[in-house]
Structure 1
Amino acid sequence: MAHPRRAALAARLADRLGRQTSVVFDPEPDGEPNPLRCAVRAWQRCPPGSTHHLVVQDDVEPSSWLWELADAAVDRFPDAVLALYVNANSFNGDAARVAMLAGHTWLPPFRYEYFPTLAVVMPCRTAHEFAAWSGPRVPVERDDDQALARFLRSRPDPALLRVPALVEHGRHASLAGWGHQGIRRSVSFQADPPGSDPELELAALPALPRFVDGRSSLVVFGDRGDRPPRVLPDDEHLSFVDMTRLGVPRLATVLFAGVTDPGGPPTGRLRLVRQLTLAGYSLGRVLAAAGADPVTALRRTDRRDAAMRSYIEAGLAGTGLLDRWSGQLDALAEGVWTAVAAGLRGHPSTDAAERHPDLVPDALRLL
């Protein structure tokens, strides 16, 4: 689905995708931005004889393994609506990061957020029903991701999100007016060939660690998932992850000892590294509570490192600090990785290092 202003971009993408991919343009390109208006037409366009329909937006960069992995996903989840991209600075993105580090590829969407529509595949029957359901709403709604989320909540259709993503968001200005919403990139992108590990599905999370606007937070859910999420106050957050107020700066001093502020006041550096310490430690505690294997969770690959960088980038994007710290993202990520390791093992101590010498990083032995 595309806007005529991106006709050349969309044509190149269709050529790259192959499989007789067609471009569906916004029928009212001079009207107010309305992605749902174009989505209705796109989801109606199932080729004859097809069982499933994939719709991508015009500003994506597809993985070289998009079709191979999308075909496998359809074979495995033939009745499901599958999002092949999750944005890094969303609730879904934060959940996807936990899932990926825990060794999972698929997870359910966050109930109280939009359903990401940058690249979605669904059965043709469902696609036609969504188009019919959405058509009358175009005059009063504009966002296809919000509409699809409501559509799915009203039905029993299974829905899943994939991480790493099979498309990446291209660096193009938003035509729908969402350029102010922070970074638009995946949690992690499938840039390398798929491995031999099975694509596991995550059922649920005990809590959701977030790093937003330069602050670490922890989101918890109702007992049955039927109540809106709640962001814990600071004291409850610390209690949930078995951390103390003094423990955070103590751990941060060790983890980020070699990181210097590239141009701001010392207080700004202290605030950032302490919040990153709590963000990483909370991520580790949630991984532990979810039963993640520490060896799996701490395994380093390019895709996993990208997921950690996107954690930091998403949290800095709304603060105006991302450009200032861009040259030190790798150093910040190393500190967060070590905080995750500490969280997986509980409060860092010399006892923990003695019990798990193979998993506790050298930095933690200094505590």
Structure 2
Amino acid sequence: MRVSSAVMTHPVRLEQARDLAARLRLDGLALDPDPDGPPSALRTALVAWAAADARASHHLVVQDDVSAPPELTALVGRAADRFPDEALVFYTNWHARNGGAARLAALAGATWVRAVPDEFTPSLAVCLPVGTAEEFRRFADGSTERHDDELFSVFFRARGRMSLIAVPNVVEHIGTSSINGHAAQGIRLAVCPMDAADAAPLLERGRVLEEPGWIPYMRYGEGYVRLVGQERAADGGRGHHRWRDALPATGLAEEAVREAVVDAMPKELAADVAHRFGWAFAEELWIHCLLLGRQAAGAARRLGDGPGGPPADALARMREAAVATAGPAGLPPERRPEAGPDEVRLMAAFAWTAVSEGERLPQE
């Protein structure tokens, strides 16, 4: 496989983009063709996808506000060789539904997960077969949509196949500014950050979770559940279902969840989390991770033990990385800066008690 590449950027970040392209040895820059016009990531994305080399099999587009290791293009090339016909996504936001799917997959021992159809496709680092890149460019040309991540999902849904998301993230978002209007979301980081040495064998030999079932996720301090088939709702599935309202569709009774809270939630850890972030958040985080552990255990059983998989220690570090982001990702944006290293460790320890208890909940 031969992968060409481009960094999509705006003149206000030109030096940052040049530095990124040089460090990662990417082929070039794709500049916003109308930098004084209304903000539009899609406008620049069309330039980036049109930059695919005719001699390449795949094309990688990276946004300018990321960090990544020098091995990125090699990792992407090997992933494209393994999945030559797939759209591959190498970064996922820690608080999105797709972030919830990736966190669940990590706990189940999968290193790739199929994206959900009712949410934007994270577009900070995407690799497409060159034919698919050209199809997307033609599909998007003339669209009034300004968000490339939203239009990606419309495109993939029409094709009947969503992207494959890399669970270990070697690409990380940097900064909190947003040319395209996302600054209100605050700190936005990867769901499962890992270094390239661990990520390489995971991405090359790890299993794919095609259908995670219902997906617990947190946003703005509250727990939600993405239901199976939610995309068929009248609103396209974009609505958010609080976990209490969604429970009847999951096969779990609220009584079982409440019993677990009373019997198994560690009081001292809960009090420490509540002291920093409030009791309501502590309880929501624990229940979210309880549901996450339950779903991950079921997914792991469905996946089974595949031969010749990646190293067990790398899989364990992937699980740790995914759980470590659950707490800070679940906080409201204005409170995420309060989650320093000590708070992250505290919330991770608290989250693991819930995941472990969730693994013991009955399956459907």
* TM norm structure 1: 0.83
Provide the aligned length of Structure 1 versus Structure 2.
338
Contact 1:262–1:325 (Cα < 8 Å) also in 2 = no
How far 1:48 sits from its partner (Å)? Answer: 3.0
What's the % identity of the aligned pairs?
33
Tell me the distance in 2 between the aligned counterparts of 1:273 and 1:250. Answer: 16
Match runs of 1:215-234 below 5 Å: 215-222=222-229, 226-227=232-233, 231=241, 234=244
Verify: 1:38 aligned to 2:44, yes or no.
yes
Moved over 6 A (4+): 293-300
How far 1:145 sits from its partner (Å)? Answer: 0.6
Alignment-derived partner of residue 107 in structure 2: 101
Alignment-derived partner of residue 112 in structure 1: 118
Tell me the distance in 1 between the aligned counterparts of 2:201 and 2:80. Answer: 18
CA 1:235/1:31 → structure 2, altered by over 3 Å: closer, same or farther?
closer
How far 1:65 sits from its partner (Å)? Answer: 3.0
Alignment-derived partner of residue 80 in structure 1: 86
Does 89-98 or 287-296 show the bigger shift? 287-296
How far 1:275 sits from its partner (Å)? Answer: 1.7
Contact 2:49–2:133 (Cα < 8 Å) also in 1 = yes
Alignment-derived partner of residue 315 in structure 1: 330
| Structure ID, larger Rg | 1
CA 1:233/1:126 → structure 2, altered by over 3 Å: closer, same or farther?
closer
- RMSD over equivalenced CA pairs, Å: 2.9
Contact 1:262–1:324 (Cα < 8 Å) also in 2 = no
Contact 1:207–1:219 (Cα < 8 Å) also in 2 = yes
Tell me the distance in 1 between the aligned counterparts of 2:207 and 2:185. Answer: 31
Does 88-97 or 294-303 show the bigger shift? 294-303
* SS across alignment from 1:279: helix
Does 4-13 or 276-285 show the bigger shift? 276-285
Contact 2:274–2:280 (Cα < 8 Å) also in 1 = no
How far 1:260 sits from its partner (Å)? Answer: 5.8
Alignment-derived partner of residue 4 in structure 2: none
Alignment-derived partner of residue 237 in structure 1: 247
Verify: 1:22 aligned to 2:28, yes or no.
yes
Q: Deviations over 1:299-323 (max 9, x none)?
A: 98444333212211111033x3334
* SS across alignment from 1:193: helix
* SS across alignment from 1:101: helix
Verify: 1:145 aligned to 2:160, yes or no.
no
How far 1:256 sits from its partner (Å)? Answer: 1.6
How far 1:11 sits from its partner (Å)? Answer: 0.6
CA 1:276/1:160 → structure 2, altered by over 3 Å: closer, same or farther?
same
Match runs of 1:60-79 below 5 Å: 60-79=66-85
How far 1:226 sits from its partner (Å)? Answer: 4.2
Give ranges in structure 2 of 5+ residues lacking alignment.
Answer: 1-7, 306-310
Q: Deviations over 1:102-138 (max 9, x none)?
A: 111111111111111111111111111211221211x
Alignment-derived partner of residue 260 in structure 2: 247
Tell me the distance in 1 between the aligned counterparts of 2:49 and 2:39. Answer: 18
Q: Deviations over 1:192-222 (max 9, x none)?
A: 4036452211010221111222222333223
CA 1:236/1:205 → structure 2, altered by over 3 Å: closer, same or farther?
same
Name the structure with the higher helix share: 2
Counterpart AA for 2:86: A
Does 170-179 or 248-257 show the bigger shift? 248-257
Verify: 1:337 aligned to 2:347, yes or no.
no
Does 41-50 or 226-235 show the bigger shift? 226-235
Q: Deviations over 1:334-359 (max 9, x none)?
A: 01111101110228xxxxxxxxxxxx
Contact 2:90–2:125 (Cα < 8 Å) also in 1 = yes
Verify: 1:285 aligned to 2:294, yes or no.
yes
Tell me the distance in 1 between the aligned counterparts of 2:23 and 2:267. Answer: 48
CA 1:236/1:46 → structure 2, altered by over 3 Å: closer, same or farther?
closer
Does 292-301 or 214-223 show the bigger shift? 292-301
Verify: 1:304 aligned to 2:323, yes or no.
no
* TM norm structure 2: 0.83
Contact 1:255–1:339 (Cα < 8 Å) also in 2 = no
